[in-house]
Structures are given as C-alpha cells and as structure tokens.
Structure 1
Amino acid sequence: MCIPGPGQMSVSRGLTVGVSVVMVVLVAVAGVAGVTENTLV
C-alpha cells in the first residue's frame, strides 16, 4: 500500500506507523505482564 509522493511524506507516514506499532506493543506487553503477575499472585 505504497502511495507515490514526496519522500518527506513517506518518512512522516513511516514514523507515525512506527510509533503506533510501538505503542500497541507496549500496551500488549504491559497487559500480559499484569495478567501474569495476577496469575502468579
């Protein structure tokens, strides 16, 4: 799903997607850690 356009736009889009992915991963890891902690306790 690559949309032809200026390089700057592409970089900006890449950074936005990257940050979103990182946020989702952090939330998922935090959720798993919380569930694991509750299960162990």
Structure 2
Amino acid sequence: MGRTMRIRVTSTARPTSNGNVQVRTSVSNGHSTKTSTKTIRVR
C-alpha cells in the first residue's frame, strides 16, 4: 500500500468573554474535515 495521506491539523485557542479558553481543532485529510471544539474553564 503505497498510499500517502496528507493530514493537516489546525488548532486555534481563543479566550472567551467569561474567562474561559475555547480550543478549536480541525483535521483535514484532503477530502474531509473534522472539527472539534473544546472549552476549557480557567480557574
């Protein structure tokens, strides 16, 4: 199997207005993109 997959991972961390941090991670492998959003509470 000489197949080469090109996977691109983009991660963005953005502070929200109430002091949390929202991390958006999108993984694209050429023809499909999967996006997951995670909110981190900062104490």
Structure holding more strand per residue: 2
Structure holding more helix per residue: 1
Q: What TM-score do you get using the length of structure 1 for normalisation? A: 0.22
Higher RCO, Cα 8 Å, sep 6+:
2
Q: What TM-score do you get using the length of structure 2 for normalisation? A: 0.21
